[in-house]
Amino acid sequence: MKIKNICCIGAGYVGGPTMAVIAHKCPDIKVTIVDLNKQRIADWNDENLDNLPVYEPGLADVVASARGRNLFFSTDVEKAIEEAEMIFISVNTPTKTYGLGKGQAADLKYIELCARQIAAVAKNDKIVVEKSTLPVRTAQAIKDILENTGNGVKFEILSNPEFLAEGTAVEDLMHPDRVLIGGDTDEDGQKAIQALVDVYANWIPKEKILTTNVWSSELSKLTANAFLAQRVSSINAMSELCEKTGADVTEVARAIGMDSRIGPKFLKASVGFGGSCFQKDILNLVYIAKSYGLTEVADYWEQVIIMNDHQKRRFASNIVKTLYNTVSGKKIAFLGWAFKKDTNDTRESAAIYVANDLLNEQAEIAVYDPKVEDDTIYADLNYLGSRSAEDNTKGVKTFTDPYEACNDAHAIAVLTEWDEFKDYDWQKIYENMKKPAFVFDGRNLLDGKKMNEIGFIYQEIGK
């Protein structure tokens, strides 16, 4: 089966870039991305490519190459479903905030709504592809919904988890380590797998396209994120020990990273990991393990989250202690709000939780981030519910100029590793700060020797 028409439900951080790259690489396939959020679709269709709702290096050029040719963004969900032979589901699967599994299980209500809409609209056979990160065996739930519509349409369910990293999404999609496709082992399932393999084979070597059963594919995504997050929490745990013993966590990471069995990636000590995937997926893994009675397995993975939360609290606490045990009325400048550089995504960003702790200590927060909008910063804090929206607005001021954000500050906290921070005139920043002037580098980004020579009291993680 040769795919000519693809629909993707969900125009967010996964659906938008993934489908844009497919359209770019497969000019003979029509790709339609649909979403009920009218403003988001309008932003994807904006002539000014700087207004795309997702910021990723290189994404604007990819969108420009295919939009209007074979890449389309629309709010007409039913039409796109009806026309497509292959439908990707790429909607949000947040952690449940209510009921059974609250705080750990994935909330699958949007997945179910998609399945029910596909079932209601489809008039011919479809291949439905899970692109969202889902708990193992979600495909069975989708299949149950689709196959009990009574309209005689045949559906094949595939799992095709994304392994892209925000900030490098386009590069990851163009040159992935692997593409994973899971499906049924019967003849129809294998035909559906091959149809998706043929799409990716337009630009990806076939030896990098892995096929498995659908359950292995679903679980592989959760496992990959759990292992990566575990490495971050592991080096952050060692960073605290380094601070107590006089060891340097950067030197420790370099030493162990040269071991070929370990490798150097994801061993950079920091204020903690964020993003939409790591915490959500590990909590989901914990819930799945508990649901099968695997208490020790659940406890093991839950410790990764506990360590990450501890690192964020520890960072905020260290600021308070270093500033003579009070930050009340003191201006703390935040450089960065996004959870990592080269993205405007702030989900689970360490900056949110550090700011929350410091606001509870009555600090005055000044925020500069080159890509994050003001409304997002306030929405992040309001979502935590620790204070009223009015109190958050009073306690946090946003700036479009980093030098203004740092003026008259008692301390600076580096919360995102934006490259531009390294190129600032730090002498000028120092001259316009309260003395003594502190820098708390939550990303170990800056040159510590240079900062001390300027006059800053400079602190890095794990040193």
Quote the Cα angle for 384-380-361, to 5°: 60
Tell me the C-alpha distance between 30 and 140, whole Å: 28
Minimal CA–CA distance to 94: which of 85, 103, 84, 83? 103
Q: Which amino acid is at 432?
A: N
Q: Is the previous residue joined to 436 through a cis bond, with omega within 30 degrees of 0?
A: yes
Residue 168 phi/psi, 5-degree rounding, is -130, 25
List the structure tokens of 349: 């960003």
Minimal CA–CA distance to 134: which of 159, 101, 165? 159
Whether 8 is a known active-site residue: answer no
Candidates 8, 26, 277, 406; catalytic one:
277
List the structure tokens of 357: 């702790």
Q: How many CB atoms lie within 10 A of CB 9?
A: 29
Q: Is the alpha carbon torsion for 267, 272, 278, 279 positive or negative?
A: positive
Tell me the C-alpha distance between 197 and 214, whole Å: 14
Tell me the C-alpha distance between 399 and 401, whole Å: 5
Minimal CA–CA distance to 196: which of 127, 132, 134? 127
Active site residues: 277
